[in-house]
Amino acid sequence: MRKILIANRGEIASRIIRTCRNMGIQTVAVYSDADEGMPFVKEADEAYRIGEAQVNKSYLNMDAIVETALKAEADGIHPGYGLLSENAQFAQKIISNGLTFIGPSPDTIEKMGDKITSRKLMQSAGVPVVPGTHGIADIEEAKAAALEIGYPVMLKASGGGGGIGMIRCNDEQALIQHFASTKNRAKAYFGTDEVFIEKCIEDGRHIEVQIFGDKHGNIVHLFERNCSVQRRNQKVIEEALSPNLSQATRDKMYDAALNAAKAVRYENAGTVEFIVDQNENFYFLEMNTRLQVEHPVTEALTKLDLVKWQVAAARGEKLPLMQSEIQADGHAMEFRVYAEDPDTFFPSPGTITSLKWGDSEYARVDSGYESGSKVTPFYDPMIAKCVIWGETRETCLSNASAFFKETNVEGIKNNIPLFKDILENEEFQKGTYSTKFIEQLKSIKK
């Protein structure tokens, strides 16, 4: 591959461009009207406008993206994450046009994109799944299933992801209240109104295993990340390795993740997500068939470049390392800087008037913005990821505190003040937090 089109925007486009440049591969950026002049557009070797600001008129326009790749004579497309990254139709379209899709096969994407199908597949591969149902036909069936599973339950859209299309129901009344609206929303967002019910794991930890496969049947894991610091079911801080997890459980999770990957003959970068209860029982949640937002945490831990691995795997090369050669070194944390109110998590679009990141040899900042950049309401609120490394978790925490003392983002509301509160919190420092952590932190502050 000598030229890659990046079907994405912002920091992930910049990050892919960086690796391609190091590999001697030329890059093509595509941008919407709202993103003209953004750093990633300037950084790519070539850049093409693909449409208006709204995502469905630009970054979700498969025809425009593939046509641009053909016009620019690119030979591969990297989808980044979000947008079209887990769209099997897009992957197939790329392949059908004689281009290389940098990701897993369309068949794998399709199977794992449907939560009910993936639950069934994982069950047959011996991977523990959260107690729950397959598809639910109507409210009567939902009521009966929830009663058997026991409240609270999670009502989920089969096509859902990223926290969208799921709602907690504490009792039958809540289930009745949310059933029809969840089905409607699922249909609007994901094109199918199929929903199912899972047991709600209280005070659980969200831990996921990074896996990687090549076209020759080799599959490895690259350890796990704890992603339990969440607001609105979306991650805010991730760390690797997960604190307070026994080695025995860790090893079992790696085995389960590898079995999950083998069951679908997984190729390229992927993630197997688990929910872990207080007794360290773990259950499969979903498999993400793409590079994750938090992949730099794993890169900081392993000192590997996962985008480089992705390109090599897409070219048909064997994995560069065997399992025994992959080492976890020290501890890493990723902080997602969002343009949002740190108390209400309400979005805060606007212009960044000043941007200053802490100066630390232990920090890596992946940002798609610069001073003067406009954060528009069209895309997600993430403006940067700050990845901090330390020899131990304690050192990592102190490196992070020092980094954020020197960091300043002005012009838009952002969640850096929240990071400062979290870093000073005893439970976070001890690493004993669950997915309820931010909710509890907020109630303490009030």
Supply the residues annotated as catalytic. Answer: 290
Q: Which of residues 3-62 bind other proteins (CB under 8 A)?
A: 53-54
Site membership for other proteins, residue 380 (CB under 8 A): yes
Bridge partners, 134 (sequence order): none
Which of 31, 59, 190, 379 binds other proteins (CB under 8 A)? It is 379
Per-residue burial over 59-79, b if 16 or more Cβ lie within 10 Å, else e, is bbbbebbbebbeebebbbbbb
CB of 213 to other proteins, least distance (A): 29
Stretch that binds other proteins, among 103-111, 257-265, 273-281, 374-382 (CB under 8 A): 374-382
Binding mask 179-218 for other proteins (x = CB under 8 A): ---------x------------------------------
Site membership for other proteins, residue 168 (CB under 8 A): no
Decide if 226 contacts 182 (C-beta within 8 A). Answer: no
Angle between helical axes of 10-22 and 306-314 (0-180°, round to 10): 70
Q: Which of residues 327-366 bind other proteins (CB under 8 A)?
A: 339-340, 346-347, 349
Question: Residue 142 and residue 179: Cα distance in Å, rounded?
Answer: 8
Size of residue set near other proteins by CB under 8 A: 15
Q: Apex CA 153: angle with CA 147 and CA 158, to 5°?
A: 110
Per the listing, tokens 């794998």 go with 108
Cα-Cα-Cα-Cα dihedral sign, residues 277, 239, 8, 96: negative
Decide if 39 contacts 368 (C-beta within 8 A). Answer: yes
Which of 79, 213, 381, 390 binds other proteins (CB under 8 A)? It is 381
Decide if 389 contacts 396 (C-beta within 8 A). Answer: yes
Q: Apex CA 114: angle with CA 310 and CA 296, to 5°?
A: 30
CB of 148 to other proteins, least distance (A): 31
Q: Specify the residue, 39 or 381, whose C-beta has the smaller distance to other proteins.
A: 381
Which of 2, 42, 168, 232 binds other proteins (CB under 8 A)? It is 232
Question: Residue 11 and residue 1: Cα distance in Å, rounded?
Answer: 22
Q: Specify the residue, 163 or 372, whose C-beta has the smaller distance to other proteins.
A: 163
Q: Specify the residue, 86 or 239, whose C-beta has the smaller distance to other proteins.
A: 86
Stretch that binds other proteins, among 145-153, 302-310, 372-380, 391-399 (CB under 8 A): 372-380
Decide if 102 contacts 75 (C-beta within 8 A). Answer: no
Q: Specify the residue, 3 or 57, whose C-beta has the smaller distance to other proteins.
A: 57
Please write down the HEC assignment for all residues of 404-424: HHCCEEECCCCCHHHHHHHHH
Q: Specify the residue, 338 or 389, whose C-beta has the smaller distance to other proteins.
A: 338
CB of 377 to other proteins, least distance (A): 4
Residue ranges binding other proteins (CB under 8 A): 53-54, 188, 232, 339-340, 346-347, 349, 376-381
